[in-house]
A = this chain, B = another copy of it.
């Protein structure tokens, strides 16, 4: 299976870049599954259903979330009707929405996508390791599902690396989100799981993690409420990675980062 994962979409420039490139990428890279993190798609804070639908229309299969999941409060009442939007699985029981989804490809193959959130330097949630393990216990990679993609939305690199190793051999791809900074440590772990600590953001990098520089810098220099944070509006870089798996095992055969447009060094998978 050929899988594309894109990191946190930030604001209009990020959305527009993603909806523009995904149709081409689906075709040119012969993608089977496209997963994007959308927690900052709505003006930097949360995800509206309308934006999610634009993403689906552009060829996205699943949208994951994170600590900004509920910034758009309307999503709380809408998420249960749209299973392709998933929120971190380790929210407490009773939280609207689901933490995972099984999507069926047009050819009948199935992929399990899981979203989970780290706890180091973040909110007090349920154990992300048990949450993922509980979900995976209901599926068998290479048997009931052909691929498993895990978005670990977390601050601490150590928690993400640990998640990668814990799932090594049991997931196709474990990828981090949340820092809005793509990491260069993409690799296939010893037991066959593709891993990257952070996918990076789809947004304008001439910013502070996607938000306008001046307002964001002011918050570090002064400790007072200042100008509202607004997404930066320059040209976005689309950032993520592509993985090709072996359907018989669900494990990764090849992996490569992908960065298109904007200010970062461009790179494209060569497979």
In contact, B221 and A92 (Cβ under 8 angstroms): yes
In contact, A94 and B222 (Cβ under 8 angstroms): yes
Q: Is A16 an interface residue (CB 8 A)?
A: no
| Segment of A102-110, A141-149, A181-189 in the binding face | A181-189
Task: Give the distance in Å from the alpha carbon of A221 to the alpha carbon of B127 in the complex.
Answer: 8
Minimum distance in angstroms from A171 CB to a CB of chain B: 15
Task: Give the distance in Å from the alpha carbon of A211 to the alpha carbon of B196 in the complex.
Answer: 18
Q: Is A56 an interface residue (CB 8 A)?
A: no
| Segment of A30-38, A118-126, A245-253 in the binding face | A118-126
Known: A70-B225, A184-B259. A126 touches B129 (CB 8 A): no
In contact, A187 and B208 (Cβ under 8 angstroms): no
Task: Give the distance in Å from the alpha carbon of A121 to the alpha carbon of B159 in the complex.
Answer: 14
Minimum distance in angstroms from A255 CB to a CB of chain B: 10
In contact, B162 and A220 (Cβ under 8 angstroms): yes
Q: Is A158 an interface residue (CB 8 A)?
A: yes
In contact, A181 and B200 (Cβ under 8 angstroms): no
Interface residues of A in 68-125 (CB under 8 A from B): 70-71, 73, 76, 91-96, 119-121, 123-125
Task: Report the 9 A-B pairs with minimum CB-CB distance, sorted nearest first.
Answer: A119-B124, A184-B184, A157-B179, A121-B121, A182-B184, A157-B181, A181-B197, A161-B208, A162-B217
- Besides A70-B224, A166-B220, A184-B267, 13 other CB < 8 A contacts? A76-B225, A92-B127, A94-B222, A121-B121, A125-B223, A158-B180, A158-B208, A161-B209, A165-B213, A184-B200, A184-B257, A184-B264, A184-B265
A-B contact pairs, 20 of them (CB 8 A): A70-B224, A70-B225, A91-B224, A92-B127, A93-B130, A96-B224, A121-B155, A157-B209, A158-B216, A159-B220, A161-B207, A162-B213, A162-B216, A162-B217, A162-B220, A165-B213, A181-B197, A184-B264, A187-B265, A190-B206
